[in-house]
Amino acid sequence: MEPHVRATLTDLCNVFDVITRKPITVKKLGRLQEEIVTIICEMEMYFPPALFDIMVHLLVHIVDDIEDLGPAFLHNMMALERMNAFIKGYVRQQLAGGNSMPIKMIGEQDFGGPAHLNEVEPWVDQHINMIKSRADKPMTEEEVFRAHNSSFASWFKDQIDANPPPMASA
């Protein structure tokens, strides 16, 4: 690595070191903003444009965030992220081997899965037949499919509102 590239990256590391310190003054923030802009301009000379995504751009705004929110250590998420990674390790171990742990609330009905789709299928067929019968001219399968997808939900709701199913006794 060329010496000036190494120096630029070292300067960037120093910027991160300064923003994570507890004592930071407004005077330092002004100089820090100038340094960040200079470092990014130098990096643009040595690195390809693909490196400069939104995360690099956010460096320009970090001084404004420190001025608005206070020192970075007060709103740093590192400790919480580390704890989440630690807890996530335990969750993955329990679910290893393709086991699943469905969570179902007491009294909650199961809406979903193949059994539920079988109950709705006659309504789908009825809706598709209605679309085909009301058409002025023969429709292609794609036109029927598009019309069905755009109007089935509201049509189905109207059908259920007009003829509510009997309530199951508990």
CA angle 151, 109, 153 (to 5 degrees): 0
Over residues 70-119, the pLDDT tens digits come to 888 777 777 777 788 778 777 755 444 655 545 444 444 555 555 556 67
Distance between CA atoms of 125 and 36, rounded to whole angstroms? 63
The reported pTM is 0.44
Half-sphere exposure of 106 (CA within 13 A, CB side): 0
What Cα–Cα distance (Å) separates residue 134 from each residue in 121, 129, 131, 157? 20, 9, 5, 19
16-56: pLDDT as tens digits: 888 888 888 888 888 999 999 999 998 888 888 888 888 88
Q: What are the extents of the domains in the chain? A: 3-75, 114-162
- For residue 37, the model assigns a pLDDT of 92
Chain center to CA of 31: 35
CB 11 within 8 A of CB 32: no
* Structure-token match 């992220």, residue found: 81
| CA pair distance 71, 65, nearest whole angstrom | 9
